[in-house]
Structure 1
Amino acid sequence: MERPLHLGLLGAMPEEIGSDLAHLNNLSRETFGDLVIHRGEWQGDGGTPVLLTLAWSGWGKVCAARTATRVLASASSEAPIDLLLFTGVAGGADPALQQWDVVLADSVVQHDLDVRPILPRFVVPPLNRAVLAPQETWFHWALNALEQSHSSGALQGFGRPKRGLIGTGDQFIGDAAVIAALRDALPELQAVEMEGAAVAQVAEQENVPWLVLRVISDGADSEAAQSFNDFVQAYDARAWTLIETLLRRQASAPRR
């Protein structure tokens, strides 16, 4: 019998996943200093349960990398993490994006990483790559799930899912000039946030599939801080809808 799918689900803040844990059964928790890792099962409509290991990392690349590492290491050898998913909100770098638009990263970059002249800008030294891309099978599984749910009306209130480059850096961006400079350096940049590419690096080095899923909260401009604060409160009530969209497709998910 095939073991259940096991997802590592991460967000910077509780509101970015849906802070109510009532959607999970058989809950348990483990504490590492100030980090709490929750474990539980999601039970669909008569389907096989999905195992979830869930944690809120806090903001920034160090917090995200620490949490990803703890989540992966805490899984048993009998039920390893099949996919590490980081989700939450992001600032729009592409002017065409609006609040509530959904972006599934087909690539990520650490936009504040620069060790020139030793290596080119953005290159991650251990991996010798600037841009990291998720495994195609997992990416297309998630994208198809999101697109089908949107088409059926199950993602009410969200924009049509898009794919694109997401940039990560230890900086809350609220300056249009900063975004313009990043777009000059990274013309395909769709959104900016503070955790995703760090989680992707950990997952790549640990040989675990990963995805980064973001919803646009603001335009990364002078209005970003207020837009972000207002948006996060509303997003809390809807965040689980995106997660459940993927969980309902667990039967077609790839396996490690």
Structure 2
Amino acid sequence: MTRPLHLGLLGAMPEEIGSDLAHLEEPSQEEFGDLVIHRGHWTGDDGAAVQLTLAWSGWGKVCAARTATRVLASAPADNPIDLILFTGVAGGADPSLQQWDVVLADAVVQHDMDVRPILPRFVVPPLDRAVLKPQQAWFEWACKALEGSHLAGELPGFGRPRPGLIGTGDQFIGDAKVLMALRDALPALTAVEMEGAAVAQVAEQEGVPWLVLRVISDGADAEAAQSFNDFVKAYDQRAWNLIATLLRQQASAPLP
């Protein structure tokens, strides 16, 4: 493959990517109603470039699915999206997690999907699966990049990256009882958020690799709302460091 890696980079809010857009070179944008898609490229210290298509979806599964679909469909035929990455913050479902810990999804599930008795709980009808997993080659690439940066001290303030099951639903979870019920139903649940599994479903159905990368903002408990609001303000200043960790490894990306 001779063209650069083309990354579709999505977050629910500007703060979850780094809202100033200063990292985009030769930026342009296209509007679809109230959705703005930004395009440009990022150049590493070695001179290698990554094509970026970037958008902020808004909260929730519908917004995330709409944005992922627009991003994929609006890419030029001769320069399609190679990987779609949804990133941002999440509530911790695993009690061992703390603020600033990093979770790379090794699987995602829509925790509010329930069409019983037609299909088992959590199963997504078009795919006939409850749990979606990223392509192994892309997952291993991201794991290696994140772990390497952490060990090299290039991610100050962030916890050590770890894999985990991320649950998505149209619900901000700030109730310990609700979280406990989800953990009872999904014992491996690591974090909860509102977009990732919807983007994964779109990507799966479109045949495009995907990753979901989250940083823990709160404990999905009674203090979650305040913790979330305070955290997001600080996260805006660090978010791009996490993304750049992956971009710097573009040369080893498992492109077709």
Task: Please say whether Structure 1 and Structure 2 have the same fold, judged by a TM-score greater than 0.5.
Answer: yes
DSSP 3-state at the match of 1:21: coil
Q: Which residue of 1 aligns with 2:194?
A: 194
Deviation string, structure 1 residues 117-142 (Cα, Å, up to 9, x no partner): 00000000000000000000000000
Aligned partner letter, 1:247: L
Aligned partner letter, 1:231: F
Q: Which residue of 2 aligns with 1:127?
A: 127
Aligned partner letter, 1:18: G
Q: Which residue of 1 aligns with 2:60?
A: 60
Q: Which residue of 2 aligns with 1:154?
A: 154
Q: Which residue of 2 aligns with 1:144?
A: 144
Alignment of structure 1 residues 1-256 onto 2, 5 Å: 2-256=2-256
Segments of 5+ residues of structure 1 without an aligned counterpart are: none
| CA RMSD, 1 decimal | 0.6
Cα distance in 2 for residues equivalent to 1:46 and 1:251: 10
Runs of 4+ in 1 over 4 A off after TM superposition: none
DSSP 3-state at the match of 2:120: coil
Deviation string, structure 1 residues 224-248 (Cα, Å, up to 9, x no partner): 0000000000000000000000000
Segments of 5+ residues of structure 2 without an aligned counterpart are: none
DSSP 3-state at the match of 1:187: coil
DSSP 3-state at the match of 1:155: coil
DSSP 3-state at the match of 1:124: coil
Aligned partner letter, 2:192: V
Cα distance in 2 for residues equivalent to 1:86 and 1:185: 25
Cα distance in 2 for residues equivalent to 1:39 and 1:195: 21
Deviates more, 1:208-217 or 1:1-10: 1-10
Compute the displacement of 1:46 (Å). 2.7
Aligned partner letter, 1:149: S
Cα distance in 2 for residues equivalent to 1:105 and 1:200: 11
Q: How many residues align?
A: 256
Deviation string, structure 1 residues 65-109 (Cα, Å, up to 9, x no partner): 000000000101111000000000000000000000000000000
DSSP 3-state at the match of 1:198: helix
Aligned partner letter, 2:24: L
**Identity, % of aligned pairs?**
81
Cα distance in 1 for residues equivalent to 2:168 and 2:131: 11
TM-score, reference length from structure 1? 0.99
Cα distance in 2 for residues equivalent to 1:219 and 1:31: 36
Aligned partner letter, 1:134: P
DSSP 3-state at the match of 2:40: strand
Aligned partner letter, 2:37: I
